Amino acid sequence: MPEVEPEITDEALVALAQKGDAQAFDELVRRHSPRLYRLAMGMMRDHAEAMDALQDGLLNAWRRLDGFRGDAAFGSWVYRVTSNACLMRLRKRRRRPEVPLEVRAPGFDDDGHWERPVEDLAPRVDELYENRELGEVIRQGMEQLPDNYKAVFVLADLELMSMQEIADTLDLTVPNVKTRLHRARLRLREHLADYLAGHPHANVTG
């Protein structure tokens, strides 16, 4: 089976794939799958589900390739198609409509001051990270986020995409992305605070 030369650009591979060259599309899959896998793992939580979502996304990309006109880079386009495939799977799994995320706001007095003391959680978050427990705790927190909030958090804070790129990928406005991102971060911080409150330092008690 002849290998596709590595120097060939995405644009040239897309042109070949649009004429039905499956090997050209395979090469695009090889190039873009590591980044798409990170996206899918962030959205889907486990490897098997991430692989199923990636398969959906890449098949959709193959089938819709004729409609890809090259206005954006292939990488951005396939990223968008894959993130939609993840959202579709999450929606099926959830089977209930998305509601805006309510964050339990802390109490502030009339002058805007905190009503209760605020603890610095950073040292204990570091501790959870060092003990390799943090990933699971964060994933549990992410499960409670509505799908679109989760997607915004993954794209912004794991993939470090710009607000505009996220808005384009998820068909949201930039102010909408910012609101969702802030609420998702606050909710995850709250989830960590709740978890830590229920799990006192192991080395203190025993």
Partner 1 sequence: MITCHDIYDRASAFHDDDLSPAEREAYRHHLQACLPCENFYRSFEATIERARQALLVAPPPDLGEELIQRIRKRRAG
User: Which helix H or strand E contains 139, and what residues bound it?
Assistant: helix 134-143
Tokens 């330092």, residue? 201
Our CB check for partner 1 shows the closer of 96 and 134 to be 134
Q: Candidates 38, 49, 75, 101: give the one binding partner 1 (CB under 8 A).
A: 38
For 44, phi then psi, to 5°, come to: -100, -10
Tokens 């002058």, residue? 111
C-alpha 108/C-alpha 3 separation (Å) is: 63
CA distances from 72 to 76, 81, 147, 191 (A): 7, 13, 25, 37
Q: Would you count residue 100 as binding partner 1 (CB under 8 A)?
A: no
Near partner 1 in 125-184, by CB under 8 A: 125-126, 128-129, 134-135, 138-139, 157-158, 163, 178, 181-182
Residues 6+ away with beta carbon under 8 Å from 121: 189, 192, 193, 196
Smallest distance, Å, CB 94 to partner 1?
20
Q: Candidates 8, 11, 15, 30: give the one binding partner 1 (CB under 8 A).
A: 30
Q: Which residues form the interface with partner 1 (CB under 8 A)?
A: 22, 25-26, 29-31, 33-34, 37-38, 41-42, 47, 51, 54-55, 58-59, 62, 105-106, 108, 111-114, 117-122, 125-126, 128-129, 134-135, 138-139, 157-158, 163, 178, 181-182, 185-186, 188-189, 192-193
